[in-house]
A = this chain, B = another copy of it.
Amino acid sequence: MPNTFGKLFTISTWGESHGAAVGVVLDGCPPGLPLSEADIQPDLDRRRPGQSDLVTPRKEKDLVEILSGVFEGKTTGAPVSMLVRNSDARPGAYDEMREKFRPSHADFTYMAKYGLRDHRGGGRSSARETIGRVAAGAVARKILSLAGAVEIRAYVARVHDISLPPGSDDTFPSLAEVEATPVRCPHPATAAAMIRRIEEARSQGDSVGGLIRCRIRGVPAGLGEPVFDRLEADLGKAMLSLPATKGFEVGSGFAGTLLRGSEHNDAFVPKGGKVGTATNRSGGIQGGISNGEEITFTVAFKPTATIMKPQQTVDLSGAAAELTGRGRHDPCVLPRAVPIVEAMAALVLLDHWMRNAAQNKTFKF
């Protein structure tokens, strides 16, 4: 099931950028959860196009419709099918792409894999696919917040070389701080510089990338499986399954490899009647399993592949060709990727919560 994610709380997304609709089927949802479109739309609004000057002007409200699995305002345990209609499709804008492969897009590889492709707006490889992830992630977040006061907060930590100053995000940012600017960086001065950099790139027909940091608090110790399905492995997979991602690190990450063991280890300390750690280079995960500290990770997003400049490429016949940049696009995907990162994190955590419950919380011997 190449389009399914999760083992117990599973989502299956479907739909193409310029098809009739995109959607998701969410299976395994616990019953009795109060749920309506109002729980889901806010996250979709955070990822939708046209929300600010920084993102693609494609005009779509991305209104979600719940088709099943909810009865009299509560989930029933049956699959929750959700759908968003594509309303601003302009397939004609993509005629050139029928014949030519866009550099660093999925055009060529889809053709190599399937022998044909829906070229309109990237078809299945479009970031519109993430609508289903965000919709399902909103359900997961609601369950997590009710089950254990879990809070998931992602934000833009760097755009191109404009980075959060060291120490500026030592405390857990509030949602309001993140949402205060369209770039979703909680440090106002940095956010302003980031916005200028993105606008500059757009004005040049170019694009920029950067980093999104995600922090999660309230996760109890014990989530994650010990070998292959380690929590960081599943979080990493979730993030690297997002379009435009090139890297993932947890806790001390790449920088931590410059420390010695005696500098890197997190000493255990008694903490309010529980076991805690004095530092958190582990990023809240040890041996693949959450230890109760804050979970922290960072995701690298490349500069948007779509640019408004002529580029060298080849056409379907394999001959060299030039591609003129056209269409609507984001000069920087990071602001809209913030709710997507949060959604994927929520899906991973809830799935592990349920897996852990099944094996380790169900029986007493």
* Closest B residue to A274 using CB positions: B318
Selected from B31, B143, B245, B360, the residue in CB contact (under 8 A) with A360 is B31
Judged by a CB distance under 8 angstroms, whether A51 is at the interface is no
B356 touches A355 (CB 8 A): no
Q: Evaluate contact between B71 and A116: CB separation under 8 angstroms.
A: yes
**Cα of A359 to Cα of B228 in the assembled complex, Å:** 22
Interface 0/1 of A233-255, CB less than 8 Å to B: 11011101101011111111110
Across the interface, do B2 and A226 meet the contact criterion of CB distance under 8 Å? yes
**In whole angstroms, what is the CA distance A22 to B273 when docked?**
37
When all copies of this chain in the complex are counted, the total is: 4
Task: Report Cα–Cα, A331/B145, bound state, in Å.
Answer: 41
B27 near A12 with CB under 8 A, answer yes
A230 to B204, CA, bound (A): 31
List the B residue with the shortest CB-CB distance to A31.
B114
Residues of B near A256 (CB, < 8 A) are: 209, 246, 300, 302-303
Chain B residues positioned under 8 Å from A27 (CB to CB): 1-4, 12, 14
How many angstroms between the C-alpha atoms of A360 and B254 in the bound complex? 37
> Which 9 pairs of residues, A with B, have the shortest CB-CB distance?
A106-B287, A247-B249, A207-B261, A2-B225, A109-B289, A237-B237, A112-B221, A14-B79, A358-B358
Size of chain A's interface in residues, with CB distance under 8 A?
161
A354/B362 in contact, CB under 8 A = yes
* CB proximity of A200 to chain B, nearest CB, Å: 10
* In the complex with contacts A67-B14, A240-B232, A360-B30, A104-B266 CB distance below 8 A: yes
Is A118 in contact with chain B by the CB < 8 A criterion? yes
**What chain B residues lie within 8 Å of A77 (beta carbons)?**
113-114, 226, 359-360
What is the CA–CA distance of A81 and B14 in the complex, to the nearest angstrom?
7
Contact indicator B300/A249 (Cβ below 8 Å):
yes
Q: Nearest chain B CB to A56's CB is how many angstroms away?
A: 14
CA distance A312 to B365 in the complex (A): 33
